[in-house]
């Protein structure tokens, strides 16, 4: 098993280049550790290569030319003059050996550490050292994900690709090929304000494949947002309004999109039903907030549990919305003694924690000059303000009420 994992050519290749670089370091202008994904004779492979450049090749002495030929242009390397090849999908095979890709990653990272470690300190300032990072390559990003996700399965198991596709709804090859295409397409819509988003995984479960949807989104420049942070792209959130408008316009019917006419019709029906549900829910939320009777800018008395003690706060409403649990969430800022908004960051509470509220136009008329401390303002607002029907008194009882 160990011999299957270790590439036998790698030590000789690495040592050969290291010796040549050390002997000719003052003649070199650039040393680069890099990789290439290649397909030769139907063999899919990862190639590790070390490239060097001379400052002035024509000025090399005969003995230096001999050293260069011996260490940099040695034809005895079986898989190539200037690289070591790790074949992860051999000719006539239909599955990827992820253990070979992992082996390449480990060998490459070892070489990167060697070159970025002691060799970097030995090279003269006139010689530039560069090491291409593996983190930019989708094949290695998704290989790491597969090996982690199926860590209890042997790494050379032929069924890993099928297991991956069965879980995510897309092939491993598709995710690798479309990774950077999705990032490039997504960057075009940075800063776009979205109001009606749908996940491709939701469509995948109901109508058509996630692959077809992602392909459509990229090719037809349909706005979407996603989060990847250098890792795999597990889900994208598409502007459902734009997608529905384009589908209904009929522009996809004469194009090769991967979607059949039947799938396009089903997708239109699915999105229309979802949009109607979205509008119905939005109206329900609007009515629920209207029934609450609290608006942005209103003064509110908020009851909180502060370290096991009952606490009341006087705040000014900054935002009101209904969350996925159908609770009304309210963002507010605390007030200063003169009842103006403080500069503290906003807090959040639910409607059931608000005992009373008051419109800003009424606050000074009711308070007048009677307010000397914030506790007086809270007492007056609780007495004269609008009582909240959703208010649920705290179950915490304390001998002393705390005011914030």
226-262 pLDDT, tens digit per residue, is 987 668 999 999 999 999 998 888 777 656 667 788 8
Q: Under a CB-based contact definition with an 8 Å cutoff, are residues 226 and 238 in contact?
A: no
* Placement of tokens 């969350």 in the chain: 323
Antiparallel, parallel or unpaired: β 328-334 and 347-350: antiparallel
Residue 251's φ and ψ, nearest 5 degrees, are -70, -20
Which is higher by pLDDT, 183 or 260?
A: 183
Sign of the four-CA dihedral 292, 295, 300, 305: positive
Q: Which two tokens stand for residue 386?
A: 């609008």
Mean pLDDT of the region 52-69:
91
pLDDT, tens digit (0-9, with 9 covering 90-100), for 78-112 = 444 678 889 999 888 888 999 999 999 999 999 99
Helix (H) / strand (E) containing 35? strand 28-40
Closest residue by Cα to residue 91 from 29, 155, 39, 138: 39
- Rounded distance between C-alpha atoms, residue 107 and residue 378, angstroms: 68
The DSSP string of 243-293 is HHHHHHHTTTTTS--S--HHHHHHHHHHHHHHHHHHHHHHHHHHHHHHHHT
* Most confident segment among 1-5, 90-94, 395-399: 90-94
Res. 400: pLDDT tops 60: no
Q: Under a CB-based contact definition with an 8 Å cutoff, are residues 233 and 267 in contact?
A: no
Q: Under a CB-based contact definition with an 8 Å cutoff, are residues 339 and 299 in contact?
A: yes
Across the beta sheet with 224-226, what order do the strands follow?
Answer: 197-199, 236-239, 224-226
Q: Which two tokens stand for residue 367?
A: 């308070």
Q: How far is CA 141 from CA 86, 109, 212, in A?
A: 17, 14, 22
Res. 73: pLDDT tops 60: yes
Sign of the four-CA dihedral 212, 218, 221, 225: positive
**C-beta neighbour count of 172 within 10 angstroms:** 21
Window from 73-77, 161-165, 369-373, 380-384 with minimum mean pLDDT: 369-373
pLDDT, tens digit (0-9, with 9 covering 90-100), for 109-128 = 999 999 998 899 899 999 99
Q: How far is CA 91 from CA 19, 45, 154, in A?
A: 34, 11, 22
Return all residues near 140 (Cβ < 8 A) that are at least 6 apart.
101, 105, 134
Residues of the chain with pLDDT > 70, as a percent, come to 88
pLDDT, tens digit (0-9, with 9 covering 90-100), for 302-313 = 987 766 667 888
**C-beta neighbour count of 385 within 10 angstroms:** 21
Q: Which two tokens stand for residue 135?
A: 């983190």
What pLDDT does residue 138 have? 95
Whole-number CA gyration radius for the chain? 32
Residue 91's φ and ψ, nearest 5 degrees, are -55, 135
Which is higher by pLDDT, 208 or 172?
A: 172
What pLDDT does residue 404 have? 52
**C-beta neighbour count of 348 within 10 angstroms:** 11
């Amino acid at each position: 098993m160990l011999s299957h994992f270790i590439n036998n050519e790698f030590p000789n290749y690495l040592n050969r280049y290291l010796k040549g670089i050390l002997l000719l370091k003052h003649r070199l202008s650039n040393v680069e550790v890099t990789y290439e994904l290649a397909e030769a004779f139907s063999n899919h492979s990862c190639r590790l290569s070390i490239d060097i450049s001379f400052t002035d090749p024509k000025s090399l002495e005969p003995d230096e030319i001999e050293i260069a030929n011996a260490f940099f242009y040695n034809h005895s390397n079986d898989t190539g003059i200037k690289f070591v090849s790790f074949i992860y999908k051999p000719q006539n095979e239909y599955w990827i050996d992820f253990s070979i890709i992992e082996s390449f990653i480990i060998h490459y990272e070892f070489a990167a550490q060697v070159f970025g470690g002691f060799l970097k300190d030995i090279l003269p300032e006139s010689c530039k050292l560069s090491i291409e990072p593996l983190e930019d390559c989708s094949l290695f990003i998704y290989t790491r994900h597969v090996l982690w996700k199926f860590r209890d399965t042997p790494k050379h198991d032929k069924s890993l690709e099928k297991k991956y596709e069965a879980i995510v709804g897309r092939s491993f090859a598709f995710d690798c090929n479309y990774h950077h295409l999705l990032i490039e397409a997504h960057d075009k819509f940075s800063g776009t304000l979205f109001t009606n988003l749908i996940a491709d995984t939701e469509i995948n479960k109901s109508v058509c494949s996630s692959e077809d949807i992602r392909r459509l989104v990229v090719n037809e420049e349909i706005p979407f947002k996603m989060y990847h942070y250098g890792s795999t792209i597990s889900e994208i959130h598409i502007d459902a309004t734009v997608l529905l408008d384009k589908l209904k316009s009929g522009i996809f019917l004469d194009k090769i999109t991967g979607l059949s006419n039947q799938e396009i019709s089903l997708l239109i029906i699915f999105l229309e039903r979802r949009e109607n549900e979205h509008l119905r829910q939005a109206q329900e939320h609007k009515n629920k907030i209207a029934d609450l009777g609290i608006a942005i800018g209103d003064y509110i008395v908020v009851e909180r549990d502060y370290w096991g003690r009952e606490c009341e706060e006087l705040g000014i409403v900054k935002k009101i919305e209904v969350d996925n649990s159908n609770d009304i969430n309210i963002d507010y800022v605390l007030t200063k003694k003169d009842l103006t908004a403080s500069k503290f960051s906003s807090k959040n509470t639910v409607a059931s924690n608000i005992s009373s509220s008051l419109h800003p136009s009424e606050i000074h008329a009711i308070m007048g000059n009677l307010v000397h401390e914030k506790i007086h303002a809270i007492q007056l607002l609780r007495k004269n303000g609008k009582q909240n029907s959703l208010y649920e008194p705290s179950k915490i009882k304390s001998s002393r009420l705390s005011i914030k």
